[in-house]
Structures are given as C-alpha cells and as structure tokens.
Amino acid sequence: MSYVQDVINKVKERNPHEPEFIQAVTEVLESLEPALERHPEYEQAGILERIVEPERQILFRVPWMDDNGKVQVNRGMRIQFNSAIGPYKGGLRLHPTVYPGIIKFLGFEQIFKNSLTGLPIGGGKGGSDFDPKGKSDLEIMRFCQSFMTELYRHVSADIDVPAGDIGVGGREIGYLFGQYKRITGLNEGVLTGKGLSYGGSLARTEATGYGLVYFVDEMIQDKNKSLNGARVIISGSGNVAIYALQKINQLGGKVIAMSDSTGHIHDENGIDFATMQKIKEVERKRISEYLKYFPQAEYVEGESIWRYPCDIALPCATQNELKQADAEMLIAHGCYAVGEGANMPCTPEAVKLFQENKVMFAPGKAANAGGVATSALEMSQNSMRYSWTFEEVDAKLKNIMVSIYRNASQTAKEYGHEDNLVVGANIAGFLKVANAMVSQGLV
Ligand code: GLU
C-alpha cells in the first residue's frame, strides 16, 4: 500500500466520526502522490502522519446569559493545527453545525492556504456551536466576551491570531478584541478583521471576495476568456459573496443569482451591490428583501441556485453546497469556470466532473486565500504601528492572488498535471510546510 493510502486509512480509523475532516485530508493527500515520489525523505520523517494531527486542540465551555437572564452553555474550540511557518492563523466560525470535525477540516485546509499566500502564517481554526441567528446585539457581546475569557490564554499576536469566518464579522471581532485587551492589557494584533479605528486594515473586509475574483480573472485570461460581459452565479450573501459581487460588477461581469440559507434570488438584469450590501450587512435581513427594491427579480426557495445558464460559478456559501447534480447542470449549460469562495464548497464528485469536462476549477485554498493574506498584511501593519492606504493593500492583495495562481499552475505543470490547480495548489502549499518541518527537527 502507498504511504499516502496508509496515512489516509489511519486518519479514517482515528477520526471515524469526522467526515468533513476525512474528506479534506483525502483530497489533499491523494494529490500529493507525485510530490512524495520525488521526496522519499518525507516518509522517513513521518511528515504526513504529523501534518494530519493537530499540534494542539483546545475545547472549552462558553457560558453566557441570554436577554431573559437565563444561562446558556455552548462549546468553544480552537485547533492549533500547524505552526511550521508562522503563528497559527485562521478564522472563528459561529454556527450550530460546528463540532471538532468541521474545525479540523477548516484548520487543515488553512495550513496549505496560508502557505500559498507566501506570508509567514501557520494554520489554525476555531469556533463554537453558538447560533448567532436571531440573537440580540447584547447576547452576541456577552457570548464573545465569555468566549475570549477562556481563549485569551491560548492566543497572542505571536502565537495564534484568530479572525472571522461564518458568523463572525467586524462586530464580533470588536467584542473579542475588547475583552482580550481588558484581560491582558495588551493592545496588540491578536485578532484580524478589526475595526479601522483600532488597528484594522483597509480592504480586509473586501479581501476574500476581491481576491477570489482577481484569481478567477487571472485563471480565465490564461485561456483567453474575460470577465467583461460574463454571466456569473454566486451562492451565499455573506462577506465573501458580497465583495465578489462588487468586484465582478466593477470588472464588467453580471451576477444573475445569489442566495442565503433560506432561498435564492434570480435577476437577469444583474444584482445591485449597494442594495445587497445594505440588506445583508446593515439590516441583517433575508435575501428575499431584495424584491422590495427590484420587483422584477424572482425569489425561489427549495431549488438549486446552479440551475441558470452562466459562464462562471462562484460557490461562496459553505462546505459541500455544490453537489454532483449541480455540477451536471452547470456543465450542461456551458459554465466554463468555477471558483471556490467558500472552504470546500464543491463535493469531490462535483470537482471530478468539472475536471473531466475541462471546466477550469479554482480550489478554495488558492482562490479564497485573499482574506487570510490580507489578515497577514493587517498583522504586519499592527507590528509596525502603521497603516497602508486602501490602494496599497488592494495592490498587494492583487499581486498575491496572481502569484498564487501562477505558483499553482506552474507547480501543476512541473508535476505532470497541467491545468489541474487542485494538484498544483496542494503540492505548492505542502512543500513549503514540509520543508520547514524537516528543517525544524522532530516538531
Ligand atoms: N476565515 C477566513 C479563511 O478561511 C479568514 C481567516 C483569517 O483571516 O485568518 O481563510
């Protein structure tokens, strides 16, 4: 049995109740075969066995009081997966589906994504099964304060730097930061995605969505296609989706459908950024509100958002949202490129179909790395006690996304898998971490 298959089997045995983690590990490890053939020394050094096991997993109780004075308890966690190339870095997710298996899959992906950015950040992820939906502002604050009251002892600007993910945006980062500062007295860059008046970076809010579009733009230009006039479907309407929408519009494309967890809207005239931003970021309402402003749009529940003919599909909602049947529809309708804005939004069956049908496929750990890359830029600015302009950060972000694309595409070619960005991104991200681990001895 190959080294890779042996390690995958061990991961399955050791983590039997964590299907998302097993899926992420299998996808990465299987694509590393060509790199391991060239580097037999990694097996002796146990690199794969080490890389699939988090350095540290912290699980804790988060008691908080709701608006009725009743005590509620959630489970909090932070998984410090790999620090070979820098402090642990990765978001916090607040969603009822959160359990260690989800955080481990995200933390594992984060190792390679962060490596691809070219910046010195290791991989970590955290979160809680707390459901922010329908909670008051004060409940959110009390939850965040309680969460940080435990987490503060495990993080710092040089140890582990959390940020946002699903359910965690500027408001939550603000409450977490305030509590960290209150407990430790340290005014340091322990979190990214902070408000602009207290250490946040310009363009961090926009970064994941913009970065996704910069990446896809570079990828399709390589095959002589253009965003100008392209029809695009974006699933989701959170931070990634909203700023992908804005950038697609700026570059001359048209977004014809977007969704939230209840349903999707479809508008052949193209979705308006300012309206969507207002509904989702300011009013925190359902996507169906969009029809109040644009009555010609349709609102659909219970049907796949991938059913409309489009050129480019950008899944920006959540893991495993785009399934085989969705991929079949997209391919039948002539979609030629897919860019993952969320983490692992396409199932392995869907990815296989895209690749077999020569649909350009940009895997999340490359295509959505712009968020965490800009977080690393926020860390740099905090360390310098300085801030760059929007244009400076945006230009750096764009350079990083173009470099990630070139690195992934070049690596794919070098390892005999031309045009396979999954293989290219995984190998490129892996080699840097593996070499750092070898250099640092038995860590
Ligand atoms: N949660 C985002 C990601 O998946 C951002 C992480 C960060 O900025 O640290 O990359």
| Residue 126 CB–ligand 1 contact under 6 Å | no
**Cα 27 to Cα 426: distance, rounded to the nearest angstrom:** 9
- Is 194 a residue of the active site? no
Instruction: Report how far ligand 1's centroid is from the alpha carbon of 114 (Å).
Output: 9
**Cα 374 to Cα 380: distance, rounded to the nearest angstrom:** 10
**418-432 confidence digits (pLDDT tens):** 999 999 999 999 999
Concatenating the DSSP letter of every residue in 127-188 gives EES---TT--HHHHHHHHHHHHHHHGGG-BTTTEEEE-BTTB-HHHHHHHHHHHHHHH---S
**71-95 confidence digits (pLDDT tens):** 999 999 999 999 999 999 999 999 9
**363-391 confidence digits (pLDDT tens):** 999 999 999 999 999 999 999 999 999 99
**What's at 17, amino acid-wise?**
H
Which residue's CA is the nearest one to ligand 1's atom 9? 90
Shortest-distance atom of ligand 1 to CA 193: 8
Instruction: Note the pLDDT of residue 1.
Output: 82
Instruction: Note the pLDDT of residue 49.
Output: 98
Of 104, 125, 247, 396, which one is the catalytic site residue? 125
| Residue 163 CB–ligand 1 contact under 6 Å | yes
Instruction: Report how far ligand 1's centroid is from the alpha carbon of 224 (Å).
Output: 31
| Residue 371 CB–ligand 1 contact under 6 Å | yes
CATH number of 205-362: 3.40.50.720
Shortest-distance atom of ligand 1 to CA 121: 9
Which residue's CA is the nearest one to ligand 1's atom 8? 372
E strands, 264-388, are 264-266, 298-300, 312-315, 337-339, 360-362
Instruction: Report how far ligand 1's centroid is from the alpha carbon of 184 (Å).
Output: 24
| Residue 89 CB–ligand 1 contact under 6 Å | yes
- DSSP tag of 90: E
E strands, 275-336, are 298-300, 312-315
Instruction: Report how far ligand 1's centroid is from the alpha carbon of 432 (Å).
Output: 19
Instruction: Report how far ligand 1's centroid is from the alpha carbon of 2 (Å).
Output: 33
- Are domains 3-189 and 205-362 of this chain identical in fold? yes
Burial category of 389 from C-beta neighbours within 10 Å (exposed 0-12, middle 13-18, buried 19 and up):
exposed
Shortest-distance atom of ligand 1 to CA 92: 1
Residues of the chain with confidence (pLDDT) below 70: none
**Cα 260 to Cα 236: distance, rounded to the nearest angstrom:** 5
Tell me the CA distances in angstroms from 285 to 182, 234, 275, 388, 436, one per residue in order. 32, 18, 12, 33, 45
Tell me the CA distances in angstroms from 48 to 100, 195, 206, 413, 430, one per residue in order. 20, 38, 34, 23, 10
| Residue 343 CB–ligand 1 contact under 6 Å | yes
Burial category of 178 from C-beta neighbours within 10 Å (exposed 0-12, middle 13-18, buried 19 and up):
middle
| Residue 364 CB–ligand 1 contact under 6 Å | no
Domain ranges within the chain, ordered by starting residue = 3-189, 205-362
Cα torsion through 44, 47, 50, 53, rounded to 10: -140
- In 3-state terms, what secondary structure has residue 210? helix
**Cα 132 to Cα 67: distance, rounded to the nearest angstrom:** 14
CATH number of 3-189: 3.40.50.10860
Whole-model pTM: value is: 0.98
Which of 113, 93, 111 lies closest to 102, judged by CA?
93
Structure tokens at 129: 């099964």
